[in-house]
Amino acid sequence: MLNVFPKKPLCIVILFASTALTACGGGGTSFSVTKDNQGVTQPQIGPFTPDPNVAAFDQTATEYRATPSLKAMGLTPFYALGLSGSGVTVGVLDSGVDGDHEELDGRVAGGGDWQGSGQGSDDPFGHGTHVASIIAAARNQRGIHGIAPLAHLVSYRILNAEGKFGSQSGNVMVPAIFGNAQTRGLPVINNSWASIYEINDISKSSLDNILRQELQSYSQIAHARGPIIVWAAGNDSDDQVSIRSGLPYHYPHLRQNWLAVVAADHQLHEPRYTNRCGVAQAWCITAPGGGDNQYYDGVYAAIPDDRYSRKSGTSMAAPFISGSLALLLERFPGMTPRQAAARLLATADYDGLVTADGCSIQTCSEATMAAVFGQGLVNLADALDPIGSTSIETSPYFKLPLKQSVLVTPHVLGGSVRDAIKSKTIIVRDSFDNAPFAMALDTKIMASRWRYQTGYSLIKSVDGESLGQSGFRYAEAGGVPLSIKIPARLIDPGQGNDGNWIGYELINGSRHQQILFSQGRERKVVHGLISQHNPDQKKWIGVGFDHHNSWLDGHAEGAFDTASSSLWGFAGIKQHTQSMSFTAEALLGLTQLNPATHSLITSGDYQFNAFRLGATINQGKAMQWHLDFMLPPAVQSGQINFRLPSQIDLATGKTHFTNYRADLDLQQRERRIDLTLNYIWSEDAFIFGGFGYRINDGHKKGDTTEVIMFGISKTF
């Protein structure tokens, strides 16, 4: 960080520099992070789309390893996502910038030169190039890697070849510069320069006279859409920041557009040179600035003529913050610079920081740490991630918590729903400032792993006898959803039912007519059956209906909240011979979704079917071999319609929705083969063991599973 002037008598500084000075006294400050929700006028856009022209990120590259602060700041995964600062321009008030340097070539515009005849794109002193490269050094496999390697820069040369104002005045330069910056719409302006006086060295009334034109310019940009002015805090080992970085102490209306930056070395210790935040702690933040021995432990960055060197100071810390703001503004289209700054302040922390006195957050109070480091060390990774809770907008006026929104699709659908929407993203927002994030929709959708079984079940009548007796009887049994004394239906919507089943059966000779129904808190189910029982043959045909408050064996909650209704028909035949029996079953069904009004799902229906072939070979009276081939329930055709939050109107900040139809198509249908050996222990008990093979398990192409089965069945 440059001190623009050596220490002189106050009157000389005022006459020649018009530098920002503050007096002793004045009011105190209190900390709060202000959230600004006002957007800017731009077309609709998604939350973040990487620039296709950005070079692929390589974290093993020499230039990235030469800039260790970036990895320490947790930026590796964000660069891998495509963040680069593309589309963001940062103003740099300094000694000029070498626009021909290999790190900056083609991305520096001259904004003006108040110390020569150029436009600010040359740098006879070298300081401005060092600062600019920390912000935006290119990803070019050479030298270093900037915080925002594709950001553009506008250079305003305010310092001469000795790094001083010379005969120029801030009251002359600042109004012209800030007028130009507003015309260009610059969201961030970096100032790695300061006076040697502290903010409380001069009174507000004196500042009103000394910095009259400067203050007018600062006030003109201090609005909701205005830029963030980033200031180096000073290198004089003072307990307070220098004058300009501390101006909101006397002029609170500047505060939301102001950031003061103090330095920490690479070990996160407070170096001797840095000023402390003091009364500016509410808008003050800490960033890497290099150690006290800059030749050994300084920040490595560019200097003119394609060279590099190490420098230390709050001058080096400030561009880390300016570059961080550029990444935030790229990631969150429509976010105001104020919002970006508030995110940096809210996520900064004291972890690892140590004062020159040996204080850490574990050994000293938060107030002590704040006086030195302000809100703490910049934590850009946390600022780029959601802050607080996250929600999904399911309509322009309705939000639901993301963590409570989940869709587990029924096994009958396999992974077809997830496959159909795998390329879709939705907008989710955090609770801090409604910042938008793009989230892959399929991360909240998964397929149920429930497995349907074939076999027999029995419902007992109230007198304890089987309903298989003649006559008309009434029966009930808690949680028993299957029909009596026949092979189970191939899909069972009664799984997980929380009510009791009741059933009626009318037996007239060999014909059985049955109806079973249940009503619980979550599900209503009815299914009926007509069966014909002969000594050598059994035939059955049936229908069923259910209404579930969720989605069959799946689960729909939050932003995916939906109920479902299913109707199915099933039929089967079992043929007996003296030593063998054969069974064939089939099922056809239809499910219709009944989404809640706040659901991202707007409608949906699909058809499904299932088939089974079985053979049983009797060996004596006690042993049975059973072979079963089954195509378990699988979707045949259908679609689900979504209304997805997909774009942001940057003029209003509102979310726009698009309708999307997901056509359901399995990758491959599952097939099951089971071979079991049954030992009949008694009339109502048997032991079984066997082997099962699943092809395209869970309706996933190529997935195979082997199953070993063993069990004891006993009817009570």
Residues paired with 689 in a beta bridge: 677, 710
Alpha-carbon gap, residue 421 to 665, rounded angstroms:
12
pLDDT for 102 = 97
Is residue 671 scored above 50 in pLDDT? yes
Query: Sorting pLDDT into bands at 50, 70 and 90, what band is 531?
Result: confident
* CA-based nearest residue to 230, from 90, 362, 356, 346: 90
* CA-based nearest residue to 551, from 600, 602, 593, 597: 593
Residue 590 and residue 630 in contact, taking contact as beta carbons nearer than 8 Å: no
173: DSSP letter: H
**Any idea where the domains of the chain sit in the sequence?**
2-31+60-384, 471-714
Domain 471-714 bears CATH identifier 2.40.160? yes
172: DSSP letter: H
Average pLDDT over residues 653-663: 92
Q: In terms of C-beta density within 10 A (0-12 exposed, 13-18 middle, 19 or more buried), how is residue 25 classed?
A: exposed
Residue 377 and residue 349 in contact, taking contact as beta carbons nearer than 8 Å: yes
Query: Sorting pLDDT into bands at 50, 70 and 90, what band is 501?
Result: low
Residue 639 and residue 662 in contact, taking contact as beta carbons nearer than 8 Å: yes
* CA-based nearest residue to 96, from 157, 26, 179, 174: 157
Alpha-carbon gap, residue 291 to 265, rounded angstroms:
5
Query: Sorting pLDDT into bands at 50, 70 and 90, what band is 451?
Result: low
β 2-3/193-194 pair status: parallel
User: For the chain, how many helices (H) and strands (E)?
Assistant: 14, 32
Is residue 340 scored above 90 in pLDDT? yes
242: DSSP letter: B
Give 247-298 pLDDT, tens digit per residue: 999 999 999 999 999 999 999 999 999 999 999 999 999 999 999 999 999 9
SS3 content of the chain, % helix, strand, coil (to 5): 20, 40, 40
CATH topology of domain 2-31+60-384: Rossmann fold (3.40.50)
Query: What is the sign of the dihedral through the CA atoms of 632, 638, 642 and 647?
Result: positive
Residues paired with 573 in a beta bridge: 539, 584
CA dihedral 107, 312, 186, 436 (to 10 degrees): 100
Is residue 461 scored above 60 in pLDDT? no
Average pLDDT over residues 2-28: 29
pLDDT for 486 = 41
Q: What is the mean pLDDT of the chain?
A: 84
State which H helix or E strand residue 647 sits in. strand 623-649
Average pLDDT over residues 98-119: 94
Give 404-447 pLDDT, tens digit per residue: 999 999 888 988 999 999 889 899 999 999 999 888 898 889 88
Give 361-378 pLDDT, tens digit per residue: 999 999 999 999 999 999
Measured between alpha carbons, how far is residue 28 from residues 72, 252, 433 in Å?
34, 11, 27
Average pLDDT over residues 463-478: 35
Alpha-carbon gap, residue 263 to 316, rounded angstroms:
8
Alpha-carbon gap, residue 393 to 656, rounded angstroms:
10
Rounded to 5 degrees, what are φ and ψ at 661? -105, 120
